Structures are given as structure tokens and as C-alpha cells.
Amino acid sequence: MSTCKGYAAKTAGAALAPFSFQRREPRDHDIVIDIKYCGICHSDIHQARNQWSDYQEEVIFPMVPGHEIGGIVAAVGAQVSKYKVGDKVGVGCYVDSCRTCAACRADLEQYCTVQTVWTYNGRDKEGNPTYGGYSNRIVVDENYVLRMPGNLPLDACAPLLCAGITLYSPLRHWQAGPGKKVAIVGLGGLGHMGVKLGHALGADVTVLSHTRKKESDAARLGADHFYATSDPETFTKLAGSFDLILNTVSALTDWNQYLDLLAIDGTMVLVGLPEKDIPIGAFSLTSRRRSLAGSQIGGIRETQEMLDFCGQHGITCDIELIPIQRVNEAYERVLKSDVRYRFVIDTASLNKD
């Protein structure tokens, strides 16, 4: 075992504070990664504050959040073939899965029907709690490690591991591209990646934001159109417009209103994960043969494809780099939609405590 330094919520809703914990010694297929950067995903806040208690069977504290990890390989196990010391690598939302179920065999490890081992707030195959990327090191099986784009800065690529793949996967699955009208609801960490990726795939991209504050940013990120959902006219003007809506909103909103913006055979994909159920009216779906769907991150193969795509197209996240000592303040700013567009922790700051 080796001792690691990180920041943890000791109990649900507690401010994050310095925390020491143990990680396993590397096994034959393990990679030891020196974590350089870790993005702050809204899911970290939901979980550190135990806001998904209606949906999660177990919540484990102390919790070291963080699943947008960018780092450098520090050591490799005896049988590792994919990576070597010094490689720029990433780790996303999960660090293992059963590897044999139909989902795992179809490269959909995030939907493993036996056990997806979440990067934090989960348990490994031995039943030990997992700890995430707000820390200095992590040990991960090579099959669940990603290669980061060599030509792009590691800090601005770290959030691709969750925010990037969570939007890339549904954009690809529902075939966003030339001639497709795509709306991104919520211009936060996920949403701004949806705009960049949707634009790079050739779709016509509209941002639906709850205020007008981010209008000029949306255009700079690649959006073709922008509407504020606080303006009631938006919903009449855009009724029946979109082939695909990717809804990234973390808060409770009326999904029926957004469904009404879909064209015939259009689909709204939920990726935002509000803490309570939201009722849906049957007429919202039947009137134009609309679909309501959901999507969760992406498989390892598709995550690598997304990283390579970002490398080819020069796509990174817009980030605000912070020392870990400011993580609690960053959480409050995320909750106020006051982040442009992802906080990333510089883990070198762990040495300052």
C-alpha cells in the first residue's frame, strides 16, 4: 500500500479538507499515475452533498471526488503493454468493470450489468472504497486508462474525460452532423463541450441558456444560435425545431417544455442528473412521435476515439485553473452557474498544505 494525499468530504455536505489514504500496490496490469490535473464536475458536488440519495444504493464517506483526471505515468506493472513511464494519460468516471457481460463485450463498460467500478464513491472488486482524482496519485488497470492528445495542454484536456465524452457519445449515437439541428440546454461544463463537439461534427447548434449572460461566449464556442429560456417567447418561436436536444441541466426544470421543441421523430437526451424525478406528460411525446432518452458518459473505446478527435480538431475545454485550497469556493460558483466553463484543480497545490 502507498499513502496518498487528497481532499475529501468527511461526511455528506462537509467542506472538502485535506485527507490521507492508501492506494494498492500496482499489480501486473496496473499503472501508477501522478495526477497533475483534475476537473470539477457537477456530479462531484451532487455526490459530496449526497444529493442522489433517491438513486444511489450506497454513498461512501470520506469521499475523495474527481473523475476528470489528467496525469503522467510514474510506474507500470510487470505485464503492462499499452503505456510506459512518462506517457500523458487520463482516467475518467470508472476504473474497472466485469469485462465479460454483453455490455462490456460491446465496449459499453459504463453500462456493465455486473459491476462498473466507479473512480470514486464506489467499491473495487475486493470491496474497498475507491478514491478519485482530487489527489496526487492513482493506480488503475491499463485497460481503463486513456491516452491524452499529445498536441494539447493536459490541464485543458482533463475535463474531456467526463464532460467531453458525455456529450460526444450521444452526439455520435444520434448521428449529429451536417443537416441536423441540435440544441444544447445549459451552457456549463458539459454544455460548452456539446457546443464545440457538435460544431466540429458539422451540426447546426443552438444554445438554450437560462439567461442571456453567455450569449457572446456561445458564439465564440461555435454555436450558430442562442436563446434564453427565461424568455417565454423562446418556447413558442422554437416549437417543433430540433432533431436532437441534449439536456445538461443539473437542476429541476420542466422537461415537457423542452420536448415540445422537438421536430417529428426528434429525440431529447438527458445527460443532466437532477436530484428528484420530473413528471412527463404522454402528449409531450405522442404529438410528434418524439423520444425521450438518456445517456451516461461513454465506453473506453469511444472515450479514446473522442480524445483522438479532439486532438485532430484542436478541441480543449475552457478552464479556470485553481489550487485545491479553493475547491469549496469553486463548488459554490458552479452552483451559481458562475464558471467559464470548467474548474480544474492543479494538484501541485497539494504540497502547500
Q: Is 104 in the site for Zn ion (CB under 5 A)?
A: yes
CB 196 within 8 A of CB 171: no
Q: Does 60 bind Zn ion (CB under 5 A)?
A: no
When binding is defined by CB under 6 A, the residue of 50, 296, 304, 349 that contacts ligand NAP is 296
Residues near 208 by beta carbon (within 8 Å), at least 6 away in sequence: 183, 184, 185, 186, 227, 228, 229, 234, 258
By CB under 5 A, tell whether 334 contacts Zn ion.
Answer: no
User: Residues near 180 by Cβ (< 8 Å), separated by ≥ 6?
Assistant: 203, 204, 243, 244
Q: Is residue 192 within a helix (H) or strand (E), and if so which, with residue range?
A: helix 189-200
If binding is defined by CB under 6 A, does position 247 make contact with ligand NAP? no
Q: Which of 98, 219, 263, 273 binds Zn ion (CB under 5 A)?
A: 98
Q: Quote the least distance from Cβ 261 to Zn ion, whole Å.
A: 26
Window 2-41: residues binding ligand NAP (CB under 6 A)? 41
Helix and strand numbers, DSSP H then E, in the chain: 11, 17
**Which amino acid is residue 66, in one-letter code?**
G
User: Between residues 116 and 206, which has the closer beta carbon with respect to Zn ion?
Assistant: 116
Q: In this structure, what are the phi and psi dihedrals at residue 300, rounded to the nearest 5 degrees?
A: -65, -45
Position 49 contacts ligand NAP (CB under 6 A): no
Query: Distance between CA atoms of 204 and 156, rounded to whole angstroms?
Result: 25
Is residue 253 a contact point for ligand NAP (CB under 6 A)? yes
Of 307, 302, 308, 309, the residue nearest 109 (C-alpha):
302
Which is closer to ligand NAP, CB of 166 or CB of 267? 166
3-state SS record for 307-336: HHHHHHHCCCCCEEEEEHHHHHHHHHHHHC
Rule CB under 6 A: say whether 257 interacts with ligand NAP.
no
Q: How many residues bind ligand NAP (CB under 6 A)?
A: 28
186 binds, among ligand NAP, Zn ion, none (CB under 5 to 8 A by kind): ligand NAP
Under 8 Å between Cβ of 316 and 156? yes
- Those residues with Cβ within 8 angstroms of residue 157's Cβ, 6 or more apart along the chain or in another chain: 70, 90, 148, 149, 307, 310, 316, 317
**Residue of the chain from 26, 92, 132, 188 that contacts ligand NAP (CB under 6 A):** 188
Q: Which does 101 bind (CB under 5 to 8 A by kind): ligand NAP, Zn ion, none?
A: Zn ion
Least gap, CB of 274 to ligand NAP (angstroms): 6
Q: Which residues bind ligand NAP (CB under 6 A)?
A: 41-43, 46, 162, 166, 186-191, 209-210, 214, 248-251, 253, 271-273, 296-297, 334, 337, 339
Q: Which residues bind Zn ion (CB under 5 A)?
A: 41, 43, 97-98, 101, 104, 112, 114, 162
